[in-house]
A and B are shown apart, each in its own frame.
Chain A
Amino acid sequence: MTTATTRTPTAQRAVGTAHTRVEGRDKVTGAARYAGDIPFAELAHGWLVLSSVARGRIRSLETAPVLGMPGVLAVLHHENAPRVDSDHIGLLGVPPEPTSVVFQHDRVPHMGWPVALVVAETSEQAREAAEALVVHYESEPHDVAFSGGHPDVYALDGHMPAVTEKGDLEAELAASAVVVDEEYTTPEEHHSPMEPHAAAARWDGGRLEVVDSNQGSTWVADGLAKLFSLDPESVRVRSEHVGGGFGSKGVRAHQVAAVMAATVLQRPVRVVLTRRQMFALAGYRSPTAQRIRLGADADGRLRALDHRSVNLTSTVHEFVEPSAGVARVMYDADAHHTANRVVRLDVPTPTWMRAPGEAPGSFALEAALDELAEKCGIDPIELRARNEPERGPVSGRPFSSRNLLACFREGARRFGWADRDPRPGLRREGRWLLGTGTAAASFPAGAGPSTAVVTAEADGTFTVRIAAADLGTGARTALTLVAADALEVTTDRVRVRIGDSDFGPAMIAGGSMGTRSWAWAITAAAGELRERLALGAAVPPEGITVRSDTTAAIGALAQKERHSFGAQFAEVAVDVATGEVRVRRMLGVFAAGRIVNPLTARSQFVGGMIWGVSMALHEEAVRDLASGGHVGADLAGYHVATHADVQRIEADWIDDPDPDDPVGIKGIGEIGIVGAAAAIANAVWHATGVRHRSLPIRPDRVLPAGTGALRA
């Protein structure tokens, strides 16, 4: 037995100092094991078979020949698979996504719907057998053609009301000296994490164990327990390392199919999605069609703001990409209207993807602001300064903090904005036309209830257990720093264990809320533990453990407009003879709460900005109207930015601790992408004189557009 002391006189504050990732050595040596890397004795391999029609029903499956193939153990489908209960609400307040509730009926609501799982001794055998399975369909006419003008569009509440309306829009537009009225579109985009979705399921002594790659182990465990009508205590989901998620890694078809197969075969079964299957099964960001109408006085003050967005959803699940929501935060106007609408098509269900709503919404709104600045003859930053709201434009609530203009000031200074000639099409360097652009960014700062367990070990170290997920965010490292400070010890005495549903309920890694939510719970538990130890208690061999739950504390937060803010700057080069666009330089300055680990935070901000480059210039999933499926559903057909697309990108931040958070955190996972595509599009206009209102800004669009406006 030893006596632990948590007071180290020389201990520095860990939060705010750069720390390499605690699992970094494992990641650079290949020792870090992801879901598909963990071996099991007697592991069988499942391969999903997806529908080849976009709408209809399964008439029959020719399973007999497949069952006779070498190594094949089972073929699960709607006639023989275990029944599950999909009539429930998950931890995030929504029913399970129907594509994950596999093999329950013969309906096919979209191309790529899971119709069977073939299980075999090896993945090669499973794959060949899955490819050989003949499925007969009764196919029906489908509609996959998205447009903002689709006749079946309807307003849909998501986590926010569909429609907000204040003031007389038409009257204010009519009274405006300057009006911008444009439509902006963004295409279907896919998360495309480098690690494909993978799960291995097995029954172990009456307990279901799932090794998975997800954004919340308790979330997935809860979902599986409810689907399979199991006692929550009898389901354990682990997710130690996650190769990226970005919103795509929740309960999906592969885990459910793996659990079914493990149950039927009573041996471990792993199901891994292929890259192509991910395009049908892993969710995606819906395309959007957004109409923005801005009316302003000659001095740029907004009289009217109308932001209407339409996205698609599937016929089996309603999902809204709330792109108009960003206008409810950013700018006020005498008449202020916003609306999120959807149309149901015969397509897979879209889902959250990094900065859902804000990413496409900020492209439209911030590009429109740039057009207004041009029409008013006002600098784009000054235009935003003149429209900086005192309170939430729709809610009327005060902002917890709003340091947008400070971001613009610091960004403008570092980027060299003051020297900018606002006229487009003036700068040339060889074959390249050069331009710069800017845009504002915001993202909600929230927290979700979590529990944490902190143990003072007998050897003087501390173990933190929390069902957090580190998708590459650096959460594991950030939480180590937070725990060290809360315990008032150095980081080498703290071990943070995450990614295990047995650690108790916790917020998912999503909504830029993960690290803040978990840090809050750890701080609470560590604080109580420190107080106990301060009394001089001896630490028994099993340690002293304190558990926290932040449900009450988070519920008691005052209602305010809580957001991170940022200013994005971009310099582009455009060759109008080939249509090539290069982003030469980007700077993002953010006011995003207290920065726990500057090293990894910078990576996350910059990573988000690179998502912005990719969204602005590259990404588009193409759906073939005839078949209802994708064309080029792989990483050669769906382009994400690679090394050569990314030149000088810098991110920095200003001091902006959240006054209502115990650590001062707001959240940084998503804001890096917000406004980035708009800053790039605005820079393309500045280079060429042409407004590109549809993403991606690709050679087939840039080349025909040329420098149209300049010639006129």
Chain B
Amino acid sequence: MREFGYRRVSDVATAVAVLDAEPHARFLGGGTNLVDLMKTGVERPALLIDVRELPLDRIESTEGGGLRIGATVTNSDLAAHPEVRRRYPALTQAVLAGASGQLRNMATVGGNLLQRTRCGYFADVNKPCNKRVPGSGCPAVEGEHHNHAILGASGHCVAVHPSDMGVALTAFDAAVSYESADGPGELPLAEFYLPVGDTPHLETALPPGALITGVTLPAAPVAARSRYRKVRERASYAFAIGSIAAALDVRDGVVRDARLAFGAVASRPWRARAAEEVLVGAPADATTFAAAADAELAAAKPLPRNGYKVTLMHNLVVSELTALAEGVAR
């Protein structure tokens, strides 16, 4: 790890101004990802701007019936918040499915959205990686990729986004607010993550130097009946090999509203809009659910050793929607 400067800031304007003056600076939130990446040499900032004490640690109801979540709210506080649990139970479940109790106490909402892939090639500075060193190649395509992307990837990068929280936020149309030297701004999560293409090192649409200040969840009555399910290679404390956030509103046997997002299948939390289109207006039965899964997964391009993920996601769509239709809490 290289030597670096450290500065703790207590207001957003200062945070943004300090970063503007030092292009090799990074914001430090909980540090659960950044400090690890500094130890492995993937990140080498000259200055850390500690934003943990910024007054962005509140969760408030919006006038429209949604929630505004501050960027420095910890994962633990987010998951435990009564309004999150009441209005967006899948979000609480997603957060609780991630990492460990210790890490959830440290990690923040803003940092969670910006966390980097856990691809083993990305994390090892002795190996090529287009995301880390543009143009160096992607050894995962021919190498170890059993937990890599099946959707939206390119030959340049097949890494997946590791967030659980982001999957639920994506399903519920969250928007990311930020502050930059040019003033405040907002990006829908759907536009927040950039497509992989041939620029896997460019991950988000945040303007340079911007600080995430919070996430806004619009009102979504459908989210009150939602679930998050995560499959991983041990029962806890592991990243997903496939996960799903699902919400379903069924009346008189017909799907009125549906939300679906997938985790661990793409470079970003994957909103399953093709599946949602099949669902809305169709009978809430296994045939519809399977058709919805097929519609979304038609675009899947599995690698030689991750084809099982297509089946996994298909099965998760059917089982989670079935459970929601039957009124099972989780």
Contacts and interface: CB of A to CB of B under 8 A. Distances in A.
In the complex they form, whether A and B have CB atoms below 8 Å apart is answered with yes
A332 B80 CA distance: 60
B312 A627 contact: no
Interface in B176-221: none
Contact of B233 (A577, A699, A704): A699
Given A624-B144, A625-B143, A699-B241, A578 B312 contact: yes
A583 to B, nearest CB: 10
A631 B143 contact: yes
A580 interface: yes
B234 A644 contact: yes
A627 B121 CA distance: 11
Contacts of B124: 629, 631, 633
A170 interface: no
A639 B233 contact: yes
B142 A626 contact: yes
Interface in B299-330: 305-308, 311-312, 315-316, 319
B234 A632 contact: no
Interface in B113-141: 118, 120-121, 123-124, 126-127, 139
Given A580-B231, A632-B120, A699-B241, A127 B315 contact: no
A618 B236 CA distance: 12
Given A626-B142, A700-B306, A636 B312 contact: no
B118 A700 contact: no
A431 interface: yes
A700 B308 contact: yes
Interface in B1-26: 1-3
A52 B123 CA distance: 14
A409 B305 CA distance: 43
Nearest to B140: A631
Contact of A644 (B231, B235, B311, B315): B235
B132 to A, nearest CB: 14
Contacts of B118: 636-637
Contacts of B316: 577-578
B239 interface: yes
A556 to B, nearest CB: 48
Interface string A614-645: 00011000101111011111101101011111
B144 to A, nearest CB: 4
Interface in A559-616: 577-580, 582
Given A636-B239, A699-B308, A700-B305, A618 B234 contact: yes
A131 B3 CA distance: 12
Interface string A671-712: 000000000000000000000000000111001100000000
A14 B53 CA distance: 57
B311 A624 contact: no
A703 B235 contact: no
Interface in B43-64: none
A180 B203 CA distance: 53
Q: Dominant SS at the A interface?
A: loop
Contacts of A704: 307-308, 311
B100 to A, nearest CB: 9
B25 to A, nearest CB: 19
B121 A631 contact: yes
A510 to B, nearest CB: 28
B256 interface: no
Interface in B122-170: 123-124, 126-127, 139, 142-144, 146
Given A624-B144, A627-B126, A632-B144, A642 B121 contact: no
Interface of A: 52, 124, 127-128, 131, 431, 577-580, 582, 617-618, 622, 624-627, 629-634, 636-637, 639, 641-645, 698-700, 703-704
A577 B308 CA distance: 10
A23 to B, nearest CB: 26
A127 B1 contact: yes
Contacts of B237: 642, 644
A61 B143 CA distance: 30
A578 B233 contact: no
A431 B319 contact: yes
Contacts of B305: 700
A523 to B, nearest CB: 43
Interface in B254-310: 305-308
A641 B235 CA distance: 8
9 tightest Cβ-Cβ pairs between the two chains A and B? A644-B235, A631-B120, A644-B236, A632-B120, A577-B315, A52-B126, A631-B144, A703-B308, A578-B231
Nearest to A127: B1
Nearest to A52: B126
B233 to A, nearest CB: 6
Given A578-B312, A632-B120, 7 more contacts: A127-B1, A131-B41, A578-B242, A624-B139, A626-B139, A639-B238, A700-B306
A639 B237 CA distance: 9
Contacts of A431: 319
Contact of B120 (A577, A578, A637): A637
A632 B145 CA distance: 11
Contacts of B233: 618, 639, 698-699
Contacts of A642: 234-237
Contacts of A582: 235
A704 B315 CA distance: 12
B40 to A, nearest CB: 8
26 contacts: A124-B1, A127-B1, A128-B2, A577-B316, A577-B319, A578-B312, A579-B231, A579-B312, A580-B231, A617-B234, A624-B121, A627-B127, A627-B139, A630-B120, A631-B121, A632-B120, A633-B120, A634-B123, A641-B234, A642-B234, A642-B235, A644-B234, A645-B235, A699-B308, A700-B306, A704-B311
Given A636-B118, A637-B120, A700-B306, A624 B235 contact: no
Contacts of B123: 632, 634
A629 B124 CA distance: 10
Contacts of A630: 120
Contacts of B142: 626
Contact of A622 (B126, B144, B231, B239): B144
A636 B238 contact: yes
Contacts of A131: 1, 41
Nearest to B147: A700
B125 to A, nearest CB: 8
Q: Which of A52, A624, A643, A704 has the most CB of B within 10 A?
A: A624
Contacts of A698: 233
Contacts of B306: 700
A645 B312 contact: no
Contacts of A578: 231, 242, 312, 315-316
A642 B146 CA distance: 21
Contacts of B139: 624, 626-627
A631 B139 CA distance: 10
B304 to A, nearest CB: 12
B120 A579 contact: no
B41 A703 contact: no
Nearest to A576: B315
Contacts of A645: 234-236
Contacts of A636: 118, 238-239
B231 A639 contact: no
A134 to B, nearest CB: 13
Contacts of B144: 622, 624, 631-632
Interface string B98-123: 00000000000000000000101101
Contacts of A643: 236
A636 B36 CA distance: 12
B309 to A, nearest CB: 8
A703 B312 contact: yes
A638 to B, nearest CB: 10
Contacts of B236: 642-645
Contacts of B312: 578-579, 699, 703
Nearest to A634: B123
B46 to A, nearest CB: 13
A452 B312 CA distance: 59
A128 B242 CA distance: 37
